[in-house]
Structure 1
Amino acid sequence: MEFTGPQSPAGLRTTPSWLLNQTASHAARLISEGFAAHELRGYHYRLLAALAESGPASQADLGRRCGIDRSDVVAAINDLAGRGLVVRAPDPADRRRNVISLTEAGADEGRRMAETVERVQQDLLAPLTAAERDQLTRLLTRLLEHHSRT
């Protein structure tokens, strides 16, 4: 007896959830490899990008904005501070909190990592035209927004 439903290997190859998962796995591998060249990880990039975009912030605010657990933020900030990419200073309004700021070296590293992200996007989406890339981004955004509300 032959079964060719969505759970069969042939059926899976046409299932959007399977295709999204496979593509996401490939994208994650490419990003991880790209960031490894910087000796950093994705969460480091998210923190550097958030600081570049919005300026100095408390560790708690950074964690919320970047979707990183509080304890992981502390470890990541320790890594970045150890490399001279960020500095910690007591919050003048509340000495119990630290404010994290980007250093010039951190801004430079963030820009280099952003270039890596752009190269990965080019590689990942190479088979698509510019219009198809825009359409894919719109569709993925719509899906993500829908499922973020539910």
Structure 2
Amino acid sequence: MPSWLLTQHAHRLVAEGFSAVDAHGYDYRLPATLEESGPASQAGLSRRSGIHVSDLVAAINELADRGLVERAPDPSDRRRNIISLTAAGRRRLRRLEKPLADSQEALPAPLSPEERQQLTALLSRLLDHHNGRAGGAA
């Protein structure tokens, strides 16, 4: 199945790239989501990152223990925590960009530049179609 072949290989390449710098996907995904969208509740962070809340709590705990994110009570609802990225988290995110970029480059390596553009266009078309975006079914 094409989807399985592509996702399995892509996941392996990214995991290997992050492993080489003693990291894993959540080390990038959570800080990148916080950097892009700003501080968030755990539920909001789960929605934005696509990480199930049960997995998210453990990842936040690990990142907080390493000083990469911090939890603070939400001033508008003290029962809820707001997660934010620390300066150390931003630095770590910058260091993880190279292995991620290398992994993204390795996936389509055997394709010509034209084939890479075509693959990207086709994958975008599939995503647009399945996300119900206008023009996606063309």
Q: TM-score range by the shorter chain?
A: 0.7 to 0.9
Which structure is higher in RCO with an 8 Å CA cutoff and minimum separation 6?
A: 2
What displacement does 1:116 show? 1.3
- 1:106 maps to a residue whose letter is G
Q: Does 1:92 find its partner at 2:75?
A: yes
Q: Secondary structure at the match of 1:71?
A: helix
Of 32, 42, 49, the residue aligned with 1:49 is: 32
Q: Aligned-residue CA RMSD in angstroms?
A: 1.7
Which residue matches 2:98? 115
Say if 1:60 and 1:117 are closer, same or farther in 2 by CA, change over 3 A: same
2:109 corresponds to which residue? 126
Which residue of 57, 61, 74 maps to 2:44? 61
Q: 1:116 is paired with a residue of what secondary structure?
A: helix
In the alignment, the residues of structure 2 paired with residue 107 and residue 130 of structure 1 have an alpha-carbon distance, to the nearest angstrom, of 32
Aligned residue pairs, count: 132
* Distance of 1:111 and 1:129 partners within structure 2: 28
What TM-score do you get using the length of structure 1 for normalisation? 0.79
Which runs of structure 1 show a deviation greater than 3 angstroms over 4 or more consecutive aligned residues? none
**Residue 64 of structure 2: which of 76, 81, 84 is its match?**
81
- 2:110 alignment partner, SS class: coil
Residues in 1 aligned to 2:74 and 2:51: alpha-carbon distance in whole angstroms: 21
**TM-score (normalised: structure 2):** 0.85
1:38 paired residue number: 21
Q: Where in structure 2 are there 5+ consecutive unaligned residues?
A: 133-138
Kindly name which structure, 1 or 2, has the bigger radius of gyration based on alpha carbons.
1
CA distance, structure 2, for counterparts of residue 43 and residue 145 of structure 1: 26
Give the Cα–Cα distance (whole angstroms) in 1 for the partners of residues 130 and 114 of structure 2. 24
Which ranges in structure 1 are unaligned for 5 or more consecutive residues?
Answer: 1-17
2:86 alignment counterpart: 103
Is 1:26 matched up with 2:9? yes
Q: For each residue in 1:93-150, what CA deviation from the matched residue of structure 2 results, as whole angstroms up to 9, or x when unmatched?
A: 111111111111111111222221111111222222333323211211221232344x
Q: Percent identity, aligned pairs only?
A: 58
Distance in 2 (CA, whole Å) between partners of 1:130 and 1:92 is 50
Amino acid at match of 1:69: H
Partners of 2:34 and 2:108 in 1: CA distance: 28
What does residue 4 of structure 1 align with? none
Q: Distance in 2 between matches of 1:38 and 1:51?
A: 21
Matched residues in 1 for 2:107 and 2:55: separation?
28
